[in-house]
Amino acid sequence: MFPPSLEPLYERYLAGLPAGVYLLEARVQEEDLKPERLLFASPRLASFAGEESPETLQTVLWNPLRIHPEDRRGFEESIRRLMKENEVWRVFRFERGDGHYLWIKEGLSVLEKSGSRLLLLGLWVDLTEEKEAFAELQTDHLLWLSIFGKAPVGLILYDLEDGRFLYANPYTLKVLGYAWEELRIKRVWEVVPLRFRQEIKENLSWRAKAGRSCSFFYELPLVTKTGEERMVSLLTETFQWKDRRVGVGIGVDATPQLFLERRLAEVAFFDPLTGLPSRDLFLEKLRALILRGARKREHLLVAVLDLTNFREINATLGYEAGNRILKEVAARLCGGLRKSDIKSHFFADKFGLIFTDIRGTYSLQVVFHKVQEILKKPFRINSHEIVLSARIGGALFPRDGETPEELLSKAEAALKRAKESGEDVALYSPEIERSLAEEAFLRSAMVEGLARGEFFPVYQPIVRLSDRRIVGAEALIRWHHPELGLLPPARFIGLAEKTGFISELGDFILRKALEEMSPLVSQNGLFLCLNFSGRQFRETSLPQKIERVLKETGFPPEKFHLEITETTAMEKAERTLAILEKLRSLGIKIVLDDFGMGYSSMKYLVEFEVDKIKIDRFFVSNLLSGEKPRHVVRTIVGLARSVGARCLAEGIEREEELEILKEIGCEEGQGFLFAPPLTLEKFQELVKG
């Protein structure tokens, strides 16, 4: 009944209405009515009848052959009542074109009489699903005091020549707040806002002169009697009645639905906590700025901001405090940056920013400095003053990408690099992309490589400095990748730490080294050192795990030396002390690695019972550069002796370094002067010597 271009709008609002509406011109013939011309039929009515064209629909509406035989008599009687009372309702079974029957409740009203001709307004409601209640509906007249008073849709007729209302049903009157006596003296354009009145007048004028039917769909605000605007979805048609062109409108008050849609849009596109655009809306705004930037040859900066240590705030002060900080960060960004700059809250402690009119390196420096300055002032939460900083990753349009997704991805890659490097700001570069791609490759390759047996331990001899006799070994892990070859630990240990895969690697090297070295330890009295990472040491089950592997491999606990770095020891000192006590109770020796490189060495020498202290290679390699490094090493050796620990120097590469260490009193050492890390077979050969 209306052009295909209107169908999406019709489906949106009107197709769901349970009522079909039609306008029919009929002629009185004796005591009967004969349909002559179908002036208007809504799409829902055509759907009920199962007919597509107005011509075929007109032939079936009042066709007795389409009425169930049991209902035909009541159908005919209702026509006679209509001519007397001008309004009637009836319930009957209607046969669709496909042979199926629908239970239809029809309301009929005479809108105008002219001699033997009548203008009828009809309303169909499908009651098929409620057919069990048919008898009640047929007899309960109170439910239908007015057919059109119950219609869930607005119905209006109006003269296209002068715009006068000819008919308005109660739904329409209720929405507009008028009585019929008040509305009938108004013109159609008087119930729309001033800004639309000229458009409505021109539309009515054009339709009055057109020699054909024409459909329009409006989403139009109407002004109620109290001056309130209500958004109405209105489908209009035109037909000829006697000597005038008449418009018919069928519509619904869409105000509640539009309000709901706006609220849903706010939820979907705006962060409820900060009020800033969400990530989805950020991308849409970026898409528009890219189009403008390409047209005007402007450069954009897409930045992702991440608050440092925000999780600790949530953990210590609670989520409510964290939310207050996020809202304050959003407020500061809005107040401190230009209005044209886009600010967005992605999730948690991550924000997105878009800066326009970027002109070279200086502009970037200004932008990044401004953001850092905005966050520099402490945040006050109750009695706490919290100082936050942020890391920022950025990407430039058009240099780094031409789509929103690509630019955001590269800004996030730059942020990731900033976090890893400890820098405040990182701008995307191809090197970052290559590095991240390599990390992604190695991350999956490590998992597959461990399953395929590509990892293996090597052993660096530890010697007694006085006679260079091998007294132990440090187990180290190596990875032989089938394509990349032998990879040094620096290529994968840090990544394994970051991803948590270090635990799997640690479990592997622990069991493998103890299994391989168990015979050598028993036969030659050697000890085995194994370094445990901070992540491994944070596992509260570590002592039980080591105890189980020692028993299963038959490795003597007193010959197992567990190395822990100062950095690891400083994290959660109380927990570290508890774990070390459990390990020592098993007979395991504790070695403090990288001694002298931390800031609390003296403190931990007192708090932790250690059996051996490892002098870092930094001090060993500087022994020949002057007296100061020698004095430091001499002090470390003296400290070790004062707490009953032995000293082991690592990284010995020259005879001169060895002689100085012997003179100072260091007992053990390892380094390339004696041997590099060796496979099990070569280590065995060296021991047999």
Within 8 A by CB and 6+ apart from 429, the residues are 414
Q: Is there a contact between 258 and 230 (Cβ–Cβ < 8 Å)?
A: no
Determine the Cα–Cα distance for residues 344 and 341; give it in Å rounded to an integer: 10
Residue type, 177: G
Q: Is there a contact between 637 and 661 (Cβ–Cβ < 8 Å)?
A: no
Helix (H, G, I), strand (E, B) or coil at 325: helix
Residue type, 144: W
Half-sphere exposure of 660 (CA within 13 A, CB side): 22
Q: What are the start-end ranges of the E strands in 127-215?
A: 154-159, 165-168
* Of the candidates 512, 610, 606, 517, the residue with the CA atom closest to the CA atom of residue 565: 610
φ and ψ at residue 650, rounded to 5 degrees: -110, 155
Q: Which tokens sit at 130? A: 């409620």
φ and ψ at residue 451, rounded to 5 degrees: -70, -30
Determine the Cα–Cα distance for residues 616 and 614; give it in Å rounded to an integer: 6
* Of the candidates 52, 38, 48, the residue with the CA atom closest to the CA atom of residue 1: 52
Say whether 650 is catalytic: yes
Q: Which tokens sit at 218? A: 């409006």
Determine the Cα–Cα distance for residues 89 and 108; give it in Å rounded to an integer: 6
Q: Which tokens sit at 666? A: 């260091």
* Of the candidates 401, 366, 409, 427, the residue with the CA atom closest to the CA atom of residue 290: 401
Kind of pairing between the strands at 527-531 and 560-565: parallel
Determine the Cα–Cα distance for residues 70 and 83; give it in Å rounded to an integer: 23
Q: Choosing from 412, 650, 657, 667, which is the catalytic residue?
A: 650
Q: Is there a contact between 547 and 517 (Cβ–Cβ < 8 Å)?
A: no
**Cβ neighbour number for residue 392 with a 10 Å cutoff:** 24
* Of the candidates 557, 560, 443, the residue with the CA atom closest to the CA atom of residue 492: 443
* Of the candidates 103, 96, 162, the residue with the CA atom closest to the CA atom of residue 127: 103
Q: Which tokens sit at 583? A: 């390990």
Q: Is there a contact between 165 and 186 (Cβ–Cβ < 8 Å)?
A: yes
> Which residues participate in catalysis according to the annotation?
650
